[in-house]
Amino acid sequence: MKNVYVVFLCALLLLCSACSQKVNDPTDVQAIKNLLSEYAKAENANDANWFTSKCYMADAVRMPPNAAQIAGKEAIAKQLEATYAGNTAINMEIAADAVLTSGDLAIARGSFTWKGTPKAGGLPEINDPGKWAAAYHRQPDGSWKCIFDIWNGDKPYPGATADGAEEEALYQLERDWAAADVKKDTAAVDKFLAKEFVSNYNGRTLNKTQFLSEMKRNPAKIESAGNSDMIAMVFGDTAVVHGMYTEKSMTGGKDTSLRGRYTEVYAKRDGRWQCMTQYATLAR
């Protein structure tokens, strides 16, 4: 029973402590929003010094997408300077969708747009909308500084589609191709291949006609065939698929089963994917 009283007392003290804190005070909320507004201005002005002097605490951490975290405001400044050095113009806008404060701590989340023009020739303009979240701590002088922040873009990874539909269509095509191999259904496989199709298999090069002819004449009895470890990368109307092909077969009473790795390039024509070229090699 004594332990129950101790737990109750601790809970009561925590509640009283929370009640003594200012929660979502309008002045604090506006101060965070003002800091975010200045953040965008400094970004557009390429002012790395503002971030180290006004925005981030000394031990702040940035967590950029698809990269290691950046710890400490000096490291943050170097990362920002590298970004500014690589782009001739930056245009950022920040929206705060929610700001929550309690005493000397605050958290916020929102969205952003970031546009940059790379200095290197031949590269497209960067247009990266996304979302962010951050935590802040009130300083002794009453200002707020960022403890850590994290963000990521709304666009899919390079080589990926937003809903994965194109990748799944390619995976299904590969499955259908394997099923047609078992039946030696050259008519089905013919639909998967572009007229310019070229196969490079273990050092042999075959055009579409030769490839289908060899498939038809193959003396092996294929019991099963399938794909694994497939990865599809889609770039508009072009795609690359690589994976592992496994076949269980018998030829003249002998086991001629095989496993091989392949990479294939596809083009989308008339709304469907067609294989342009294939490179395959037997797995060791």
Distances (CA, A) of 65 to 9, 157, 189: 43, 11, 40
Q: Tell me the whole-structure pTM to 2 decimals.
A: 0.61
Q: Which two tokens stand for residue 15?
A: 């509640």
Distances (CA, A) of 148 to 60, 62, 133, 134, 180: 5, 6, 9, 6, 54
DSSP class per residue in 140-195:
TTS-EEEEEEEEEESSPPTT--SSSHHHHHHHHHHHHHHHHHHHT-HHHHHHHEEE
From CA 164, how far away is CA 130, in angstroms rounded?
19
From CA 88, how far away is CA 116, in angstroms rounded?
7
Q: Which parts of the chain are beta strand (E)?
A: 56-63, 70-71, 87-102, 105-118, 126-127, 130-138, 144-153, 193-201, 204-207, 221-235, 238-251, 254-255, 258-269, 272-282
Give ∠ CA 177-183-185 in degrees, rounded to 5.
65
Q: Collapsing DSSP states into helix, strand and coil, what is residue 47?
A: coil
Residue whose tokens read 């490291």: 75
From CA 175, how far away is CA 246, in angstroms rounded?
12
Gyration radius (Cα) of the chain, Å? 29
Q: Which two tokens stand for residue 11?
A: 């809970």
Residue 10: predicted pLDDT: 43
Cβ contacts of 115 within 8 Å, gap of 6 or more: 89, 90, 91, 92, 125, 126, 127, 128
Do 241 and 264 meet the contact criterion of CB atoms below 8 Å apart?
yes
Cβ contacts of 37 within 8 Å, gap of 6 or more: 94
Residue whose tokens read 């943050």: 76
| Closest alpha carbon to 144 in 264, 13, 32 | 32
Residue 15: predicted pLDDT: 43
Residue 284: predicted pLDDT: 65
Residues in the chain with pLDDT < 50? 1-18
Residue 89: predicted pLDDT: 74
